[in-house]
Amino acid sequence: MYNDTKSSNPHSVHYHDYLQLDAILNAQQPESEKHGRPAHDEMLFIIIHQAYELWFKQLHFELDSILHIMRKPALNDNSPELQTVVHRIGRMNTILKVLVQQIDILETMTPMDFLDFRDDLRPASGFQSWQFKLLEAKLGLKYEQRHGQEYYTAQLKPEHVQQIKQGEADQSLLQLVNTWLERMPEWDPNFWNAYQEAYAHSLAEVEKDNLQYFHSVFAANREGHTLSAQANRAALFIMLYRGYPLLHLPFQLINGLLEIDEGLSLWRNRHMNMVHRMIGTRVGTGGSTGRDYLKSAADKHYIFKEFAQLTSFLMERSRLPVLSREVEEKLGFHSLDR
């Protein structure tokens, strides 16, 4: 029997009120309706982009918690905190997959459907998404690495520009991971020389030029790199010996960062192809060069590319230098004083 008795809990929360659905469901105000010629697909366009901004907010929420943990003076490589970092990076990657999948829905709108309301949007543009630019900054994309530096904040509100500049000034996730890697002990002082020799022997004749690249990546006092030589050596060691228990989580963290780059790249490329499909070579509503700008940004805005470059220096497990028994014990689940 239906019972409409109110809850006895004085702090009871109603679903509608908890989610503030009045605000959310009334937040769609199509411009085409204001001009007296409603375009059916503008509602879809608005909701998709509002959903993007909500997901960006969640990405910031996850990333801020990760940055808080990584900024601590010491982070044990086999700790609940590192597990939390890996878990939340994994959640960020799952969200990035959803961002890509949403384009499937947006592409049910044809170019002619878009043209019905496109001119009403000027100069509004996804280029004005300050949350996405701030996310890139927090991850580690610096101003000097950006494509289109001259106008990438030109259309933003002053308070949003300030937030992005603050994000660029703060320690990014990439910088914090570099510091974390630099704290990794040098397990075996003889390992590095042994590995260089083994790597050289593993190369085919046509790959011998890789040796010069190898030495440049791991040389001290390098310029133009975010990861230090010491951090690069630690990251490569983790990749090579990830089968040892103590290196499981560190490897998952590095791999998760590579997945973030891949997810952002997939999203940018899907967005680029969608824009090309919708407007061809026309200028974007925000004044950018449309597809050409998106393509250049997609090619340039890799944040964790230095980790990806380390795969050039991997080799077959059968060729790896054998670790000493002492090092193998340390890489097990024995306690380690960091």
Task: Say if 268 falls within a structural domain.
Answer: yes
Q: What pLDDT is recorded for position 211? A: 86
Residues annotated within a binding site: 45-49, 118, 271, 285
Q: How many CB atoms lie within 10 A of CB 73?
A: 5
Reading the chain (338 residues) residue by residue, the pLDDT tens digits are 555 555 567 788 999 999 999 999 999 999 999 999 999 999 999 999 999 999 999 999 999 999 999 998 877 777 899 999 999 999 999 999 999 999 999 999 999 999 999 988 877 777 788 999 999 999 999 887 776 666 677 788 999 999 999 999 999 999 999 999 998 887 777 888 899 999 999 988 888 888 888 888 887 666 667 899 999 999 999 999 999 999 999 999 999 999 999 999 999 888 888 888 887 765 554 445 556 766 776 677 789 999 999 999 999 999 999 998 888 888 886 544 54
pTM of the model: 0.88
**Domain assignment of residue 7, yes or no:** no
HEC per residue, the chain: CCCCCCCCCCCCCCHHHHCCHHHHHCCCCCHHHHCCCCCCCHHHHHHHHHHHHHHHHHHHHHHHHHHHHHCCCCCCCCCHHHHHHHHHHHHHHHHHHHHHHHHHHHCCCCHHHHHCCHHHHCCCCHHHCHHHHHHHHHHCCCHHHCCCHHHCCCCCCHHHHHHHHHHHHCCCHHHHHHHHHHCCCCCCCCHHHHHHHHHHHHCCHHHCCHHHHHHHHCCCCCCCCCCCHHHHHHHHHHHHCCCCHHHHHHHHHHHHHHHHHHHHHHHHHHHHHHHHHHHCCCCCCCCCCCHHHHHHHHHHCCCCHHHHHHHHHCCCHHHCCCCCHHHHHHCCCCCCCC
pLDDT per residue as tens digits for the range 9-56 = 778 899 999 999 999 999 999 999 999 999 999 999 999 999 999 999
Q: How many CB atoms lie within 10 A of CB 200?
A: 12
User: Which amino acids are annotated as binding site for substrate, given as ranges?
Assistant: 45-49, 118, 285
- The count of structural domains within the chain is 1
Q: Are 71 and 239 in contact (CB under 8 A)?
A: no
Specify binding-site residues for heme: 271
Query: Is residue 31 situated within a structural domain?
Result: no
**What domain range is 154 assigned to?**
39-330
Q: How many residues does the chain have?
A: 338
The CA distance from 326 to 84, in Å, is 29
pLDDT for position 243: 92
Question: Is residue 191, in this structure, part of any structural domain at all?
Answer: yes
CATH number of residue 175's parent domain: 1.20.58.480
Could you tell me if residue 45 is inside a domain? yes
In a domain, 19, yes or no: no
Q: Confirm whether 96 is domain-assigned.
A: yes
pLDDT value at position 336?
Answer: 47
- Residue at 243 is within a domain: yes
Determine the Cα–Cα distance for residues 139 and 142; give it in Å rounded to an integer.
9
| Predicted pLDDT of residue 283 | 54
User: What integer pLDDT is reported at residue 338 of this predicted model?
Assistant: 46
CB-count exposure of residue 94 (10 Å: 0-12, 13-18, 19+): exposed
d(CA 331, CA 242): 10
